[in-house]
Chains A and B, each alone.
Chain A
Amino acid sequence: MNTPHTLFEKIWRRHVIVQRGDSDALLHVDRNFVHEGSMFAFGALAKEGRNVRKPRQTFAVADHYVPTLNRERGMAGIADPEVRNMLELLENNARANDVVHFGIDDPRQGIVHVVGPELGITQPGLIVTCGDSHTSTHGALGALAVGIGASHLKQILATQCLWQKKPKTLRITVDGALGPGVSAKDVILAIIAKIGTAGGTGHAIEYAGAAMRALSIEGRMTVCNMSIEAGARAGMVAPDDTTFEYLHGREYAPRGAHWDQALALWRTLPTDEGATFDREVTLDARALEPMVTWGTSPEDALPVSAAVPDPASVSDADRRARMEQALRYTGLTPGTPLQQVKIDRAFIGTCTNGRIEDLRAAAAVLKGRKVTVPSWVSPGSTTIKRQAEAEGLDRIFREAGFDWRASGCSSCASMNGDIVPAGERCASTSNRNFEGRQGKGSRTHLMSPAMVAAAAVTGRITDVRKL
């Protein structure tokens, strides 16, 4: 009998080139993504006189700094010379190194973690890297996807390999079915609230259970995306027919005989019966409500029916101090029902929740309604934007009073200038509510697309199920 292995273990073993000691391995990297922020790695590479060793295995996407307005004018529409410089650097670095580049004008442009899966570049069983922490998103297709910093990116560009210490494994099983109005975003916020932002540190998470199997690839990406907010090295879901159907026919997916061969391999990847994990966590999907954050860490998430917590009820001094600071920053008073919290803005988009399914969920709420606060939506990719327009979603958003923007990271980290002004409170589908994340002094409340749409309509945090 063969020893049973986990999905993670199977991918890891296939990619070890050299083993050093018990846990250190030199791994082959199948797919590497770069974006504007990769300028540091390219710069250092050039300074050392090195080239990209496997240019066909790296893909460049402009996302963090692209403007979401005036896009029909391309580069010429960018007012900020520093931003233009970032985009030009990426383009030049890609060209100089023979790397495919989905630039500001490319019909396939979008957020790197949306574009990779959407074009079929990301596939089951691969090791995927990107100089960005939300690389974990790609794990939704059954890949081992890890975010790295500039030095490691430089190494991958130069060698197509990466030294990694083997992470521990954590299986999070979400049993049961999600109730109406409860989505993938609520699942991952509930997980982070439960295990904490350091709960997954040093681990690769596999999400399993009936609720995960029932999610679309889009939903699985939302969950895997925020694995990093649980501190994990990676998040993944075993590939199944949903995965294969999603990938079939995509531009970079294998075709013909290669597709059949790939499929046969992909079917061997799911975790074997009896395989063990270093840790297990379970959650009951039936018990989940729409979730909202109140503080400045993604673990500060509560069901929408709850009230702002009271630091005085917490015994650990460090934790109490952190809660007090979070409440000072967000300007909230303990005991206030979350649904009484007024918002100033609403934002839908990002690699967490900028996919077609997210836009459909928000549009379903907005249809026939009007927003009461400035609201905008930036689709996760230009492809998604076109698809949404073909489905008439843009009209619903516009008629409700939403700004229908072009695709990019936009107000997630606000690097392109789409900032939330200081002191303003934003209902956002993004992944981080850190101090200053959406701009200096900005206050972020994380929630699902349907919940953001509901908040945009009422001007306060709202239970979408009761709207």
Chain B
Amino acid sequence: MKPFTKITAVAAPIDMANVDTDKIVPARFLRKARGADYGKYLFHDIRYNADGSDNPGFILNQARYRNVQILVAGDNFGCGSSRESAVWVLTDYGIRSVIAPSFGDIHYGNALQNGLLPVRLPDATVKKLRQQLHEQPGALITVDLESQTVTGPDGAVCPFDIDPSNREKLLKGLDDISLVLQNIEAIEAYEKRYHGELPWLA
């Protein structure tokens, strides 16, 4: 996993609440093998016209967002299905962090597994950031995981919360399986006792 420490990058306002995972990547692309360039499926049905050309009305199609790495979205970003593809399309497109008032739980967990930093900020703060991004299109935002802060285009610094162990894993790019298997003795002892009591579950 790619570690996340700090980025300063172009941020795009996504003025939608409840951006569901079907919108992030429609179900018909879920059969595509991982490894292909998943970024092209991001927001597919609102990003392209029926003939496959770019929809100029979709914000990420504007030239100034070519190097976008941060999205600032509405409430409940990534609600819906558990598809991790909804993270892969974002990371493959180049997005490193999504800022929103809240996230779908599973999507939030999936993001952390792929070096994509989901940042929860209060609703009013997020609205203000989006407003600034509209006023200064192409403006930069800094997301700093070490200091747990977001710095807006106006220089205002907003602290954010993240679970300490998730922060640690993201900063170091650690793989969860090895972290689990460090506890193999405890796991085996647990299973021996548990399945000793409830043998039909083994």
Contacts and interface: CB of A to CB of B under 8 A. Distances in A.
Interface residues of A, number: 71
B18 A415 contact: no
Nearest first, the 9 A-B pairs at minimum CB distance are A151-B113, A149-B110, A149-B84, A150-B84, A198-B76, A254-B200, A133-B82, A434-B22, A159-B180
Indicate the size class of the contact surface on chain B.
35 or more
Contacts of A152: 109-110, 113, 176
A328 to B, nearest CB: 12
B190 A321 contact: no
B179 A163 contact: yes
A21 B31 contact: no
Interface string B30-63: 1101100000000001100000000000000000
Contact of A231 (B30, B79, B113): B79
A18 B127 CA distance: 39
A233 interface: yes
B27 A149 contact: no
Contacts of A30: 201
Contacts of A151: 84, 110, 113-114, 176
A322 B82 contact: no
A21 to B, nearest CB: 7
Nearest to A441: B45
Interface string A240-278: 000000000000001100100110010000000000000
Interface stretch (B100-108, B142-150, B153-161): B100-108
B74 interface: yes
Given A133-B82, A231-B79, A325-B16, A258 B176 contact: no
Given A149-B113, A415-B28, A432 B164 contact: no
A197 B18 contact: yes
Given A148-B106, A318-B17, 11 more contacts: A26-B183, A37-B83, A86-B31, A151-B113, A160-B191, A163-B176, A197-B79, A265-B198, A319-B17, A325-B16, A415-B30
A306 to B, nearest CB: 21
A161 B187 contact: yes
A50 B177 contact: yes
Interface of B: 15-18, 20, 22-23, 26-28, 30-31, 33-34, 45-46, 74-76, 79-85, 87, 102-107, 109-110, 113-114, 127, 163-165, 176-177, 179-181, 183, 186-187, 190-191, 194, 198-202
A151 B87 CA distance: 11
Interface string A198-213: 1001100000000000
Given A147-B82, A149-B109, A155-B176, A440 B194 contact: no
Contacts of A233: 105
A155 B45 CA distance: 32
B163 A262 contact: no
B13 to A, nearest CB: 12
Contact of A434 (B20, B28, B164): B20
21 contacts: A26-B183, A28-B187, A30-B201, A57-B201, A152-B176, A155-B176, A163-B180, A198-B18, A198-B102, A201-B76, A201-B102, A231-B104, A255-B200, A258-B199, A261-B198, A265-B198, A432-B80, A434-B22, A435-B22, A435-B46, A440-B28
